[in-house]
Amino acid sequence: MGKLDVQHLKKVFHDNSGDIVAVDDFDVEIEDGEFIVLVGPSGCGKSTTLRCIAGLETPTSGELVLDGEAVTDNKPKARNMAMVFQNYALYPHMTAEENMSFGLKMTTDLPKDEIRKRVHEAAEMMGIDDLLGKKPGDLSGGQQQRVALGRAIVREPEVFLMDEPLSNLDAKLRTTMRTELQKIQQKFDVTTIYVTHDQTEAMTMSDRIAVLNDGELQQIGTPLECYHQPENQFVAGFIGSPSMNFFDVELDTSGETPTLVHDAFSYELDDDVYADIENSGQQFTLGIRPEDIKAVPAGTHNALSPEVEVTEPLGDVTYVYLQIGGKQYTATLEGDIVIEPGRQLTVQFPQDRIHLFDGKTGETLR
């Protein structure tokens, strides 16, 4: 079992400039076998959260409860958790086999034969049995990371903690290792908390994503919940690549149809959209994902005709960078599209695809 309750976790660092609240009231129940990814911009508190769970940092306040038992004051070794680091943290003078056995030798009184059996089984499963005699210096990055993972697996922990474990690998190997890691996690069904910067890793690997900003949890949900129903503008902008486009707009109800007015365009609202914002003041942020912007014939209702700055054909889709009100926005259009820079493109934001946020708080209204 590996059900982990992280209760009101808080970590404050103190330095010359004062207090730094690295983690503020992180409160999440993680189910047995669940794969949770922590994402957020640099410095948002991902690693500190993970290190507090591992016992490598002492929380300022909060509790950690693993399968009903408080482990907050337990030493790292006594938590039944195994951590995998970005830089693998293998001992350079030991062979892969010795690296994988070391933790078990130090923390358990398992007989030698049993340790050897576990190490060889794990190595075979990860396709590294022929590397067991080699030292880290003779292994590639991907092989070292497999050994580091193997070392975590043989401990049979209740929780895996992984801090950007794939970020030192090249793009192709990262993709391979991503699927391998998922397979391993599913096979062992171990509760996993995984820190990454990488959108694709977060979206594809996790059961749930926890989005952090400035030490605070912004949203926790399945990848598609975070993508389709972001709770605020921060999550909307962070999840999805290329990022959602945002426009500062003001609501004008003086005419027949309620209209959002931007410096460069006006956008008439359907009744059901207006109903979602009519009691929320006048300042809003309109959000539209690049893939939701449509190219339409000139003269279409609610369309605008910005200048194209650059197009980037990727084969299946083309990123079109548009100049609207002096800022650059992105539209992702299907297929190969070539548009001369400087030409106009008529586009529309379909009413059922737009997001609306409170202009002051960033809270999602629609």
Can you give the binding site for ligand ATP, defined by CB under 6 A?
Answer: 13, 15, 20, 22, 40, 42-48, 197
What is the nearest approach in angstroms of ligand ATP to the Cβ of residue 178? Answer: 18
Q: Using H for helix, E for strand and C for coil, what is the string for the chain?
A: CCCEEEEEEEEEEEECCEEEEEEEEEEEEECCCCEEEEECCCCCCHHHHHHHHHCCCCCCEEEEEECCEECCCCCHHHHCEEEECCCCCCCCCCCHHHHHHHHHHHHCCCCHHHHHHHHHHHHHHCCCHHHCCCCHHHCCHHHHHHHHHHHHHHCCCCEEEEECCCCCCCHHHHHHHHHHHHHHHHHHCCEEEEECCCHHHHHHHCCEEEEEECCEEEEEECHHHHHHCCCEHHHHHHCCCCCCEEEEEEEECCCCCCEEECCCCEEECCHHHHHHHCCCCCEEEEEECHHHCEECCCCCCCCECCEEEEEEECCCEEEEEEEECCEEEEEEEECCCCCCCCCECCEECCHHHCEEEECCCCEECC
Give whichever of 11 and 155 is closer to ligand ATP, judged by the CB atom: 11
Give whichever of 9 and 82 is closer to ligand ATP, judged by the CB atom: 9
Give whichever of 46 and 146 is closer to ligand ATP, judged by the CB atom: 46
What is the nearest approach in angstroms of ligand ATP to the Cβ of residue 215? Answer: 7
What is the nearest approach in angstroms of ligand ATP to the Cβ of residue 326? Answer: 31
What is the nearest approach in angstroms of ligand ATP to the Cβ of residue 75? Answer: 19
What is the nearest approach in angstroms of ligand ATP to the Cβ of residue 76? Answer: 16
Give whichever of 30 and 38 is closer to ligand ATP, judged by the CB atom: 38
What is the nearest approach in angstroms of ligand ATP to the Cβ of residue 184? Answer: 23
Give whichever of 198 and 268 is closer to ligand ATP, judged by the CB atom: 198
Give whichever of 45 and 240 is closer to ligand ATP, judged by the CB atom: 45
What is the nearest approach in angstroms of ligand ATP to the Cβ of residue 54? Answer: 12
Give whichever of 238 and 329 is closer to ligand ATP, judged by the CB atom: 238
What is the nearest approach in angstroms of ligand ATP to the Cβ of residue 22? Answer: 3
Separation between Cα atoms, residue 59 and residue 51, nearest integer Å: 9
Give whichever of 15 and 316 is closer to ligand ATP, judged by the CB atom: 15
Chain-centroid distance of CA 42 in Å reads 12
